Amino acid sequence: MPRGHIHISPSLEDVVDNLTHWLIEEAHNAIQDHGHFRLALSGGSTPKALYSYLAQEPYQSQIDWSRTEIFFSDERDVPPTHPDSNYQMANKALLARLKTPPWAIHRWYTEYSPPLALADYRAHLTANGTASYPPSLDVILLGLGPEGHTASLFPDQPVLQSHDIVAHVFVPSHHSWRYTFTLPLINHAHQIAFLVTGESKQAIISELFLEHCDVPAARVNPVHGELHWFLDKASAKAISQS
């Protein structure tokens, strides 16, 4: 059973609003503490709603984007203009709409060969005076698949045992190659936030919180940071009634 702070809201809109205010506070804390905010975005339809919300006022102006560095916790191995690209989605919903752009946006260079793309991302993750290894990002946003995957860490895959901080993986169930953060990098974040909504996630949330399981999301266990679950009533029905 994962530990962490559980935030349950009535609807998707309320979850997004709650997470937006939390993100704003974490950005302020990070910038006040060490001068910049290192944020990793996730893909999917629910995060897209969050990014569109963040792009609006008054929320956009409440984060100092000029001191914000953007990463992506995973990416499909497709061109950055492809409809399935997490970067493309986040750019349309948020990044291209910001009046003051982030001082650094690190997309996965899927045009490179996998070894070069991984080396490029390792270099960005460990730059800017990072004192620890694995590096500690300020906030990593994560989603949750119905089978318990998060980022592009799927059940029963060798990458779950990796000691590297990034990986290029083949996902048989989706017949696709992806780039992803690994557990050592995720678990060294200062703050990890799962964004999970909808009845389709009710079963896996129940399994994660009410039973012993070993799906990838259950292995997210921050070494020094905090874990947060932002859920709606539909996804949290089983645990809210326990």
Task: Write down all domains in the chain, each with its CATH number in brackets.
Answer: 5-240 (3.40.50.1360)
- Structure confidence at residue 82 (pLDDT): 96
- Structure confidence at residue 157 (pLDDT): 95
Q: Which residue has the tokens 């004192």?
A: 131
> Is the peptide bond between 146 and the residue preceding it cis, with omega within 30 degrees of 0?
no
Q: Are 207 and 236 in contact (CB under 8 A)?
A: no
- Structure confidence at residue 213 (pLDDT): 87
Return the exposure string of 126-145: e unless at least 16 CB atoms fall within 10 Å of the residue's CB, then b: eeeeeeeebbbbbbbbbbbb
pLDDT in tens, 96-113: 999 999 999 999 999 999
Residue 1 pLDDT exceeds 80: no
CA of residue 209 relative to chain centroid, distance: 20
Q: Are 232 and 198 in contact (CB under 8 A)?
A: yes
Segment 160-174 mean pLDDT? 95
* Nearest Cα to Cα of residue 192 among 240, 164, 156, 229: 229
Tell me which of 20-29, 70-79, 119-128, 191-200 is least confident: 119-128
**The tokens of 142 are what?**
């994560």
pTM above 0.85, yes or no: yes
